[in-house]
Structure formats: C-alpha cells, structure tokens
Amino acid sequence: MTFDELMIFYITLIGCTAKELTVESGLANGTLSRYIHGLRKPTANSPTVSVIADGIVSLAHKKDITLDREEIIRSIYIACEADESLAHSLYRKNLRKLIDYMGISLIDLGNALNYDPSYMSRVLGGQRRPYNLEELKLGTAKFFARYASRKEDIIRRLAGLYGCTPFEAGTDSKMAEQTYRYISTDHGTKHSGTPIGELLDRINEFDMEAFREYLHIDTIKLPILSEHRLIDKRYSEFSQLKAAELDFLRYIEMTCSSGHIVMYCDIPLPSHSYDQAFVKNWAFGIYTLIERGVKINMIHDIYRPADELIKELIEYLPLHMTCSVTPYCLKKNAGSQLMHLLLISSTAALSGEAKNSGDPVGSFHVTSEPESFSVYKSQGDVLLKKAKPLVRCYNKAKMSKYLSFIKRCPSVIKSSMSYSAVPIFVLSEELLSDILGRYDLPEETRSLIMRYRDHYRTEIEKLPKDRTIEINVPKIEKQPRSTKVVPLFLTDIFVEDEIKLTYHEYTRLITELEAFAEDMGNVRVSYDRRPMFDDLSVRVIKDKLAIISKRTNPVIHLVTDHNALVESVYEFFFQK
C-alpha cells in the first residue's frame, strides 16, 4: 500500500473528511490534499509522520474508534518507503530484460555510466541500492539513445520492445524518452487471463531482494523475550479474525525463535485478501520468523475449486519462494458445515471456527495457556500427519534432495519441456566446452556442468522409442556473431553464474539440436520467437508431475504432483 492509498484508507476507516484530518493534525492547508493525490509524500523519518499519526488517533477517538498509534506510525513508515522500493525494483527488472534483449554487457554499460561493472552487477542483483536512482535512470536512457543513434535495425528492435513505432523512437531525444519510460514502468503481468497464467507470471517476475525491501526485513528487527506473559484472548465476532491472526503473530514474533509452525485455514480467501494492510503486516510477521529459522507447514484446502487453490498459492507465493514454507494439502474432505482455522507454534496457538453460511459467524481463541495449548497442538499434529505436500520447493540449500528427486522421476509415456534458456543436454560435448572456455569459471563448477550434461544426455538417450519428448526453445533473430543472445539452463545444478551463448554458438546449437532430434526419433522440437517467460523453464511429465524452475533471485524449483495443477500447467504451455 502506497502512502496516498494509506491516507485514503484511514480517512475511510474513520469516516472523516480530508479537511477534518488536516485540522486535527495541524497540517498546513493543502498538504494532506497533495498527499492523497500522490503529488507529495513525507520522508519516512520526518516529524510529519508522528503529526499525522496523532491526528488519526485523536480523530478516531472522537468517533469512538480505537487505533494503535505505534501501528499507524509503522504503517506510514512502510508506506513512505514503498514507492522508492518499487522504483528500484522496476529499474532492476526492466534493465535486466533490456540488456538481455539487446545483448549488452554490464562492462559497456558501467563504463558509459561511469560506474564500476561490479557495482552495476550488485545493483541489478538487488545487493546494492543506488544513491541517486533518478540520475542512474537518466544516464541509462542516454546510453541507449547513443547506442541506437542512426542505426535503423537497433531502433526497430528497441521500438518493438518498448511498444512504440520506430518513428516514435527515431531520434536520440525520442529514444532516450522511450527508454526512460520503459525502465520506469511496471509492465504488469502478461498472462493474467487465467489463474495458472497469473501464478506463472508472479513466479517469473518475483524478486526476492525487492520483497525483502518491501517488508523492510533488514531495517526492522524485533527482539525475542526470554521471559514473557502468557496470552489467553478470545474473539467472539467473525470480523475479528484478522485481529486474532495479527495478535497471534505479534506474540510469537516476541517468543518463538525455532521449531515449526502448522497453519490450516479453510475459511474463504476473500476475507483475507482484500485488506492489503493486513496482508503486508501478516507477511512481515511470518518472514521475521523465517529469518530466525522457523519452518512453516501451511496446509491448504485441496477441495476448493482448482482456480481458487491456485489463487491461494499466488497469495502466499513470496513465502513459498523462501523454501521455508511448505504447502501441504489434506487427502480427505471433512465435509463439515463449519470452517476452521488452526495456527500452532512452539509457544502459542490460534484456533477458531466459523459457520459455513451466507452470513459468516465465528469465534477465535489465541492462547499460550498450557492446557489449551496442548489440546490445539495435538490437533495440529494430527492434521499434519494426514496431509501430503502440495508443492515441493527446492533451493540451493536443498540441492542434494532435488538431484535425488530428479533421478527418481517416474518412467513416462510423454514429457514436455519449455525453456527460456538452452537445456545443456542438447549440446555436444565440444560445443559446451567451447562455451565454457570463454568464461573464467572455477574448475569445480566447470566439471559439475560437464558431468550434469553427460548424465542428463545419457538418461534421455536411454528412453524407449515409445516415450515422446517435446522440447521448446527460444528462437533468436539474426544478430552479429559475437552478440550474447541466450543463457544456458543451469538451474538444475544451481549454478548462479549466467553463461550465455553467442549468436554464432546459437546457430551451432540449432544444427546440433535438430540432428539430435532426428537421431532420437522420439524428440519433437519447436521454437518461440519471444518465450512466454524470460526467467522460467517448465517440464511436465504428463499426468505425473510438473517442475517449474526459476533461474534468478531466487534460483528455485517448484515441483507438484497435484493432478489439477499438473494439468493446468500442461494445458497452458503445450495444449494447442
């Protein structure tokens, strides 16, 4: 939620006018109006934040509404930082796409902008936030204007990416303007017409560093109390559900430093998802626990419609991407008219029930009192035993488990693969060696890549001829021989170095790939001029499982054998 949205939220919540809040806060006339319309915003640490918070609390009190001043200040602080974090995230994401699309090296870009290439690499990786983003964006725009100056072929390519005509980007000033607009704009999701398309878009676009910035994980640290009071609090209204969840989280944020949390809720998703302030505070609490090493077991209601289940995965996607939150699903439907909520940590529990009817009625209980806690913990243990994984998440820390899983993949009648990068098993040993020879890689990494290529190729070649393999790879337009055009797919072995083929190597690859397909007889090859996702590769073993692999920030594999999810992924990529 941005600052202007937050101001509108509080004005609506209290039921006041902007003028009333201006008077109550003692702000200058017109100041709040400019805030609400997004024309200005205070800095996160300015005295204005406290002044506005005091005005909100005072006005709410006059209307018999109780609000927490510290919670308001925290929300305003986060909102003031949100716009800046978004701008940095958009610049990183869009510039990565731009330089990949044009095959431009960070060395050339860094030199042109008077920045060390290693600094630019850290900026693009999210490890460094530039001091003056506006200056960097203007410099980037001028660089691409010079790069394209009077070169009709480059102007056409950039205009195609920017969504404008070559005429609208035909001069240096127009090209700079179009580039600036492109790197500053949220281009949104491209496949949001279906829930599975939106899920894949969110995975493709997800940026772990931007998510951490959004939650301010590195700037807000909560203490753990060695001694603390017990909590035993009841909520008799369904509308108090979110308050109960946040009270539970605040308590365990202060008391829980290890162990596991079991979470189950079959209460309809809309009661949570519409309130973005709640979602952000909830995510901050969960991520704080994850940072401490707490593992989350999140049990989903498998008996919801498939589209709603996918939407729920989207809702919690940032947490799943940490690999510390494991989504589970129940094998059997309880079939009750009651909806349930159960959250269990090592120090407290939240339990509740709501009536499954048009007019929701429910009650909730947050407790750390030993007798009640013991009962709820037993219920959580039983639920977890009856559940099975919905999606398995593998990051580099789980590399050995992932490779072991890949070797155990079931024998299949048909598998389909769609790559935004080049799968190394289709490369000859000679071509792969030539590509790696251009990079200063540790011998251990080079050896790992070669061994993986040999193993995967052997497994593919051993498949019986009645087992069909579909391979979809990027189609690259003609470019200068030495231009780096497409990366190798190294996500299976969690190699984070980006190793790219030149256009000349790409033409050799296509020749080898088609020869490989002809020799195999059961391999079908197709090409995408613009792959649907630039950071995802997907493999589907038909009717068995789907593997969604993300190449960067973070490098991760999401694996599911849930029938509806596997079918949705297959239909999205391969059903014509």
Query: pLDDT of the chain along its 576 residues, tens only?
Result: 678 778 887 888 888 888 899 999 998 878 888 888 776 777 767 788 889 999 999 998 888 888 888 878 877 877 776 656 667 778 888 898 888 778 788 888 888 999 888 888 888 877 787 878 888 999 999 999 999 998 988 998 898 888 888 888 999 999 999 999 899 887 755 555 688 888 898 898 888 877 777 666 565 555 554 556 788 999 988 878 888 988 898 888 878 777 889 998 877 644 444 466 677 778 778 888 888 888 999 987 656 667 777 877 887 888 889 888 888 887 665 555 567 889 999 889 999 988 765 566 788 999 999 999 999 999 999 989 888 888 999 999 999 999 888 877 754 445 778 777 888 888 999 999 999 999 989 999 999 999 999 988 888 888 888 888 888 888 887 777 877 778 899 999 998 888 889 989 999 999 999 999 999 888 888 887 666 687 888 888 877 889 999 988 889 999 998 888 888 888 888 775
Task: For residues 213 and 44, give the distance between their C-alpha atoms in angstroms, rounded to a whole number.
Answer: 14
Residues of the chain with CATH 3.30.870.10: 222-390
Axis-axis angle for helices 69-102, 208-215 (nearest 10): 160
Q: What is the gyration radius of the CA atoms in the chain, in angstroms?
A: 26
- For the chain, the straight-line distance linking the first and the last C-alpha, in angstroms and rounded, comes to 39
Nearest Cα residue to 557 out of 406, 387, 389 = 406
Map residue 186 onto helix, strand or coil: coil
| CB-CB contact of 539 with 456 (8 Å) | no
> At residue 484, what are phi and psi to the nearest 5 degrees?
-80, 125
Q: What are the angstrom distances between the C-alpha of 545 and each of 179, 489, 541, 563?
A: 41, 20, 5, 8
* pLDDT for res 344: 93
> At residue 228, what are phi and psi to the nearest 5 degrees?
-150, 155
For the domain made up of 222-390, give the CATH fold. Answer: Endonuclease; Chain A (3.30.870)
Q: What is the pTM of this model?
A: 0.70
Task: For residues 448 and 490, give the distance between their C-alpha atoms in angstroms, rounded to a whole number.
Answer: 10
Map residue 258 onto helix, strand or coil: coil
Residues of the chain with CATH 1.10.260: 3-67
| CB-CB contact of 502 with 510 (8 Å) | no
CATH class as words, domain 395-574: alpha beta
* pLDDT for res 164: 87
Task: For residues 62 and 14, give the distance between their C-alpha atoms in angstroms, rounded to a whole number.
Answer: 10
Exposed, middle or buried, 479 (CB in 10 Å: 0-12/13-18/19+)? middle
3-67 is a CATH 1.10.260 domain: yes
* pLDDT for res 356: 61
* pLDDT for res 214: 67
Cα of 459 vs its chain's centroid, Å: 32
